[in-house]
Structure 1
Amino acid sequence: MTAPNEPESEDGWPVALRGVTETVVATLGPNGQWNFAALGLHAGDPVTARTWGATRTRRNFREKGEGVVQFLADPVVFTESALSILERPSPTHPAADAWVRVAVERVDGGESGGTSWAEWELTLVESGVDTERVPTTNRGYGAVIEATVAASRLDVDAYDTDELRDRLDYFEGVVDTCGGERDREAMRMVRDLTAWDGSRDETNE
């Protein structure tokens, strides 16, 4: 982790947030390891995020009251964080371009489609930028991110599993046509880690 930097955006975050920005968050678990998971940040004042189900992120937010949000462009790392159990001894992943340590407070909760959810307010504590890069737009990378969302909903009663699998097939085609090798590796990981082909029935948020 680099030394904290002065905030680069008006609201203190090192990047400009808009709509929902997909990130990876690290939270400290009871085993002393940092658990990495996908987390969508909802832009606003304050910044908020929702956790779905009884996940490690929800537990660690509740018990520790903090996390380290990371912005990265590696589709394999994002997929591994979104769909598997990824734990590391350090709160920042080497693939992270920037990070923000946040204090979290639960501000709402409920149930939707049979799944409980909790809404959290995120307050920036400190941040750092490790890598600055010129942004590019690649449909393959975008398809990987959408695929992780669809895959995380497989076999959830509120969603049509066959429709989700059709979407995953479509995203796989986009990755094959437009993505690079890391995107293709990530898409293979989506298939291996989920119930996409019906051989598995568990995913991790």
Structure 2
Amino acid sequence: MGLLSEGITEVIAVTQDNAAPMGIIVKPGMSPRMVLFKGSKTVANILEYGWVTANFVSDCYLYPQYAFSDVAPDDLADVFVGGIMMQRLVSADAWMAFRTTVLHETDKTCYIDLLPVASEYVREEPHPINRGFNSVIDATVHATRYVYTKDDHLRNLIEYHLGIVAKCGGPREREAEILLREICGL
């Protein structure tokens, strides 16, 4: 699959006029999958339109930005793939387009199967990843739950990762740290 490898790959998932950080799960012998929480715009769009694009970005700020705010129309580009019009992030370094199928539902989640239909490398140059980048992603994952639960354990995890961002991140990672602190009230 080129852009995806075994494990969980964090991407910015784009559905119709929507962007949100998401993990794509890849296990041996299985097609890529996503587990989505019901009630989100991402689930609603996948159920209505049947597609998603996975956007690989080197700007860590986009993870907390799209986790907690709507995507601007100018941040999206239309792409005609797999016989339908989809959208991707303008700022993506690379992207993959998928047709989607609901495999299983629970009261709270939808398990989505992803069928790859297209991909593109937009930028060829490598982007070095520092420890701060990875910690922004981890802090964002914890923050998406913390804002609803105010769980002290999650707060401690966020603080731990933001400490790494402060020590190991560059300017854009530190901007993401500020945004996450504002969002979480830290």
Amino acid in structure 2 at the alignment position of 1:15:
L
CA 1:56/1:127 → structure 2, altered by over 3 Å: closer, same or farther? same
Deviation of 1:155 after TM superposition, in Å, equals: 5.2
2:117 is matched with which residue?
125
2:90 is matched with which residue?
94
1:134 is matched with which residue?
126
1:62 is matched with which residue?
47
Mapped to 2, the partners of 1:188 and 1:84 lie a distance apart of: 15
Identity of aligned residues (%): 27
> Would the aligned equivalents of 1:83 and 1:190 in 2 still touch at CA under 8 Å?
no
1:21 is matched with which residue?
9
1:37 is matched with which residue?
20
Deviation of 1:142 after TM superposition, in Å, equals: 0.8
1:202 is matched with which residue?
none
2:140 corresponds to 1:148:
yes
Mapped to 1, the partners of 2:147 and 2:92 lie a distance apart of: 31
- Could you tell me which runs of 5 or more consecutive residues in structure 2 were left unpaired when the two chains were aligned: 78-86
Mapped to 2, the partners of 1:153 and 1:53 lie a distance apart of: 14
Amino acid in structure 1 at the alignment position of 2:95:
W
How many residue pairs match? The answer is 173
Amino acid in structure 1 at the alignment position of 2:146:
L
Q: 1:175 aligns with which of 159, 162, 165?
A: 165
Deviation of 1:39 after TM superposition, in Å, equals: 1.3
CA 1:82/1:21 → structure 2, altered by over 3 Å: closer, same or farther? same
Secondary structure at the aligned position of 1:149 is classed as: helix
Amino acid in structure 2 at the alignment position of 1:117:
T
Secondary structure at the aligned position of 2:104 is classed as: strand
- Could you tell me which runs of 5 or more consecutive residues in structure 1 were left unpaired when the two chains were aligned: 1-12, 29-33, 198-205
2:160 corresponds to 1:189:
no
| Cα-to-partner distance string for 1:139-191 (whole Å, 9 max, x where unaligned) | 1011100000110111555xx71111111111111111000000010111112
> Would the aligned equivalents of 1:77 and 1:95 in 2 still touch at CA under 8 Å?
no
Provide TM-score, normalisation by structure 2: 0.85
| Cα-to-partner distance string for 1:40-75 (whole Å, 9 max, x where unaligned) | 000132100011131000000000001211111111
> Would the aligned equivalents of 2:58 and 2:127 in 1 still touch at CA under 8 Å?
no
Provide TM-score, normalisation by structure 1: 0.78
